[in-house]
Amino acid sequence: MSLMADPEIVDLYVLRRFVTAPAAFVQMVVTLYESAPPRRMQTPGGRLMSSEMTNCGALGWVSDHAGYRYVTQDPLTGSAWPEMPEAFRDLAGRAALAAGFGIFEPDACLINCYRGPAQMGAHRDADERDFSQPIVSVSLGAPAYFLWYGAQRRGSPAKLWLESGDVVVWGRSARKGYHAVQRPQGEVRYNLTLRKAG
């Protein structure tokens, strides 16, 4: 297990190449897209997000004019989100344990797809019920820089290069940290964000 090199950054763990077969994970994402297609969501302010999103698991994160929230049904299809693949749940559980967060049973997996110039601006994840739960993030496909701002959105962020198969686990003091993702350095990057949302 590797801890982020900067001693100021605690409770953020980088597990490099933790996914042994990332191509198989990409294949699972592509299969999930058949029942829950990727789509660009609208921010509450009316702007289109640049990454394409979908979800699997009991709860899915959505954004539209009404705000950010978790819902049990895909607004695009009217159906429940597809079941979370066992391999995703298993990986998230093992990553959280390896990072020292104990038993983690995610009920939500947001799947982000970044193509070309797609990126994600600085924000924090604040739509979950229980902030004592960690978050597990799985990077797949093209590499990208992840930016870590910490408690405040300003200042110069720490830069973390994430490659396919790298897993990051956040919790405790890092749980409400501001973060951002730069455009992929290549064709397409996928990210799984596994959360206990409900």
Does 125 bind Fe ion (CB under 5 A)? Our answer is yes
CA-nearest of 28, 22, 17 to 109 is 28
The residue among 78 and 123 lying less far from ligand MD3, judged by its C-beta, is 123
The closest residue (CB) to ligand MD3 is 191
What CA dihedral angle connects 151, 155, 159 and 160, to 10 degrees?
10
- Residue 32 interacts with, from ligand MD3, Fe ion, none (CB under 5-8 Å by kind): none
The continuous run of DSSP H or E covering 7 comes out as none
Tell me which residues touch ligand MD3 (CB under 6 A). Answer: 110, 112, 120, 125, 135, 137, 170, 174-175, 177, 179, 181, 191, 193
Taking the complex as a whole, the smallest distance from the CB of residue 174 to ligand MD3 amounts, in Å, to: 5
128 binds Fe ion (CB under 5 A): no
Q: How far apart are CA 10 and CA 2, in angstroms?
A: 12
Cα gap 93→54, rounded to integer Å: 21
182's tokens? 């730069």
Q: Binding to Fe ion by residue 166, rule CB under 5 A?
A: no
Rg (alpha carbons) of the chain, rounded to whole number: 15
Stretch near Fe ion under the rule CB under 5 A, chosen from 25-33, 49-57, 102-110, 122-130: 122-130
> In the complex, which residues of this chain contact Fe ion (CB under 5 A)?
125
